[in-house]
């Protein structure tokens, strides 16, 4: 079984090479540095618009995919700002505008990434919008591998890759 005729479908582990550019042509992400991205199709591991567009592709195939914000990181939410008290931060952390923070959503317990928008005397203004919110994303993608997922990958809902996985 050499997997040559396998196509991207749910419960397949897919390896892609990709370059992500914004509408103005700025490259914001690429697999060139880290090597191909491996993910489990159909499990929401990557943004919905990209996952949907890769469906049915086969190894060696290349595609240019445009993903609108609603299928990427969402529209920009002008209400996505919060003022956090200064004592919510460790004293030894140097805070700078534009710095990324990992916050925990108190209601859901989920980690959200936020960015420091402004530092005020009475606290830190953070922007909980994803830094690509509101952006239309342009992906250039090449499928470099497709294989059936292993039972434990399906159980965990993500590809385990070659030992770089994060243990929960």
Q: pLDDT per residue over 94-144, tens digit each?
A: 889 999 988 887 888 888 889 999 999 999 999 999 989 999 999 999 999
Which stretch of 39-43, 106-110, 112-116, 155-159 has the lowest confidence by average pLDDT?
106-110
Other beta carbons less than 10 A from residue 156's beta carbon? 16
Phi/psi of residue 4, each to 5°? -65, -30
Note whether residue 144 is domain-resident.
yes
> 128 with 112: CB under 8 angstroms?
yes
Note whether residue 161 is domain-resident.
no
pLDDT surpassing 70 at residue 2: no
Structural domain harbouring 101: 81-127
Give, in degrees to the nearest 5, the angle at Cα 138 between 133 and 142.
Answer: 130
Residues 21 and 101 in one domain: no
In this prediction, residue 104 carries a pLDDT of 83
In this prediction, residue 5 carries a pLDDT of 72
């Amino acid at each position: 079984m050499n997997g040559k005729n396998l196509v991207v479908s749910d419960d397949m582990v897919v390896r892609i090479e990709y370059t992500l550019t914004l509408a103005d042509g700025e490259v914001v992400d690429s697999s060139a540095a880290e090597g191909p991205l491996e993910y489990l199709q159909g499990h929401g591991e990557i943004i919905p618009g990209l996952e949907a567009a890769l469906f049915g592709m086969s190894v060696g195939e290349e595609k240019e995919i445009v993903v609108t914000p609603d299928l990427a990181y969402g529209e920009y939410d002008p209400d996505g700002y919060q003022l956090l008290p200064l004592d919510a931060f460790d004293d030894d952390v140097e805070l700078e505008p534009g710095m990324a923070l990992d916050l925990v959503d108190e209601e859901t317990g989920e980690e959200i990434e936020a960015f420091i928008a402004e530092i005020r005397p009475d606290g830190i203004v953070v922007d909980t919008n994803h830094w690509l919110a509101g952006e239309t994303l342009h992906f250039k993608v090449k499928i470099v591998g497709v294989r059936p997922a292993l039972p434990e990958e399906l159980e965990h809902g993500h590809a385990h890759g070659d030992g770089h996985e994060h243990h929960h």
